[in-house]
A and B are shown apart, each in its own frame.
Chain A
């Protein structure tokens, strides 16, 4: 593969999301990151100045950069996830700007689900509020590997180190209850740009990196799972070429590797058939390769002619997944029609869609106290809770804690086709036992 011969280009992608309450200054912070890292263009600044003249005051409003829809500009709120892009010589950044209103928690889950890092914004004057706890709990639930607590508006509390430490202590009081490994606290002022890109002269007591400095250097190489090969089959590649004999018999299984590494000659177990086969060839458009890894997209050719189609999964023999119709999961409910026991939904997991029925509501997370409340009557929009499901056909899965891609699902409401929930599977009770399968080759 050829490589760019021009100036040094980014070698990595960091995906992050920002969350905070209304007026915490999220959009201002993103505007500041773009502005100070010189990622804004003259026509964008010009458009900002034009809108400043219209809305009065004459002051440039950095929030107008991200609030793209008319209703948002009129109401001064962010109503949907907005994506922004910028790059420094070290990294390319994908920002999901996720709104902080109570009713839009589903958007935070959307923006955060694929993030390497979440920034939780806190207004230094207000300290930790229910929204801060909710956003941190969601980040923990989604197992976002890195968290930044950006304590904003430090200028309005006189750049007080005591206040910074007080808010940090408020966070540290509930962090141990959540499973978060890497948390960084940064004092800043998004409005004035202190500690965003440039170090602030007002915080001599703070020795840590600026926000951008941290985003550029946080270690993300291990954020993908390289243990336990998983290939959910997306599409069967059958050229059926009448003219090319070599292609006439080609039968490949295309998909994006959802975990681990695969090598030519490796033995794999094919689900749901339960049959062991061997990798004959790893085919890519750029040529045949000897090995491939998560999250590459490949086409596997296998030694045996077995029944595999979209929704099948090929897995390594040394790390077997679970296979069961009975599932337990944490879900974030995203629809105004509440979740009810006994209702049927479609569940999409990897490339496999199956009918499920909700059999039990185990508990619901109280967002103010972070306590779980047993046996709730229903889960309403933006509620997070633990449920049991029974599927019409077995799901081949891992616990979400082990693999985000093979441990996650969405629920779809039949009829409206609305996406009503995001689900994170609990680890299977037993891993699949190949010796109990009917047709092992």
Chain B
């Protein structure tokens, strides 16, 4: 093998760095969506690789549903501070209070309400581009997504009318009020993300690793017991050794029983896994087109 060879992670890395720099070069006010989850942790490292030794030329933005795992928010704030990055947090709670987001009668999930909250933050800061950590392997509608995903002035995605992306030439031109979502990790899989975390020795929130947690059996999943998810008398409750594979809201993220305490353990576990990462997300199981419908409405 020649010495001028890149392995699969190095290929994915250089592709993602190229996309980050295209964003910095073509947009006036970009932001990077950072939740503290594993995908956005990789995004931050890629931003460092793209822009150091300069400061990151874009702020971090997070939409806090109010149903986040506390470990996630703690990590989010700490990591942003370590990098000297500007972190902007906008909450669904506040969006509801200001009438920007309106829950349907009896609607507990904050998933849908993230959308108006995000769009209001984009409006407030006049962001013309948001970099997100979505991957095409996550879900069928995501598999049709471009690197540069054009959104109209309502934040909507039109899957039938996407801009063709040819070679590595991305068309970032916008009219006022329009917006771009950019996904540098499009070609990464769950395994690639963990291998990159391992190679780069990146810290991740503790809930990705095995820990003891009280869980309730609901909808075929183990949900973490919390103030938001109190067990009903009829439900089975157990203390389990679990970890989370994907982090959504605390009310909808299933825990998986796992002894994995290191990144290497997680990689071994994923290599042997027989269900997908999103198999533990109730928000995606709502219907076969659940993600497609949310994206058309402005979801990332």
> Which chain A residues border B186 with CB–CB below 8 Å?
83
Checking A87, A250, A295, A349 against B6 with a beta-carbon cut-off of 8 angstroms, the contacting residue is A295
> Which chain A residues border B264 with CB–CB below 8 Å?
5-6
Stretch from B31-39, B69-77, B193-201 that touches the partner: B193-201
- State the Cβ distance, A75 to closest chain B Cβ, in Å: 12
**Residue pair B136, A85 in contact (C-beta under 8 Å):** yes
> Which chain A residues border B11 with CB–CB below 8 Å?
13, 295
Query: What string of 1s and 0s marks CB contacts (under 8 Å) between B1-35 and chain A?
Result: 11011111011111101100110110000000000
**Residue pair A41, B8 in contact (C-beta under 8 Å):** no
**Residue pair A68, B268 in contact (C-beta under 8 Å):** no
Q: Is A147 an interface residue (CB 8 A)?
A: no
**Residue pair A10, B54 in contact (C-beta under 8 Å):** no
Q: Is A51 an interface residue (CB 8 A)?
A: yes
**Residue pair A42, B2 in contact (C-beta under 8 Å):** no
Complex CA–CA separation, A349 to B166 (angstroms): 11
Q: Is A33 an interface residue (CB 8 A)?
A: no
Stretch from A159-167, A254-262, A426-434 that touches the partner: A254-262
Q: Is B162 an interface residue (CB 8 A)?
A: yes
> Which chain B residues border A422 with CB–CB below 8 Å?
164, 166-167
**Residue pair B169, A409 in contact (C-beta under 8 Å):** yes
Q: A43-B279, A82-B143, A235-B24 are in contact. Are A297 and B53 (CB under 8 A)?
A: no
Q: Is A84 an interface residue (CB 8 A)?
A: yes
- The residue in B1, B10, B17 that gathers the most chain A C-beta atoms within 10 A of its C-beta is B17
- State the Cβ distance, B51 to closest chain A Cβ, in Å: 7
- State the Cβ distance, A146 to closest chain B Cβ, in Å: 17
B199 to chain A: closest residue by CB: A2
Checking A42, A68, A80, A404 against B162 with a beta-carbon cut-off of 8 angstroms, the contacting residue is A80
**Residue pair B143, A84 in contact (C-beta under 8 Å):** yes
> Which chain A residues border B166 with CB–CB below 8 Å?
109-110, 113, 408, 410, 419, 422
> Which chain A residues border B279 with CB–CB below 8 Å?
41-43
B163 to chain A: closest residue by CB: A419
- State the Cβ distance, A275 to closest chain B Cβ, in Å: 22
Checking A255, A256, A410, A417 against B169 with a beta-carbon cut-off of 8 angstroms, the contacting residue is A410
> Which chain B residues border A69 with CB–CB below 8 Å?
140-141, 144, 159, 289, 292
Would you list 24 pairs from A and B whose C-beta atoms are within 8 A, ordered by A residue?
A: A3-B199, A4-B267, A13-B11, A68-B139, A68-B140, A70-B289, A70-B292, A84-B137, A84-B143, A87-B8, A87-B189, A221-B1, A221-B2, A235-B24, A235-B25, A239-B55, A256-B21, A296-B10, A297-B17, A297-B18, A349-B169, A410-B169, A419-B163, A422-B164
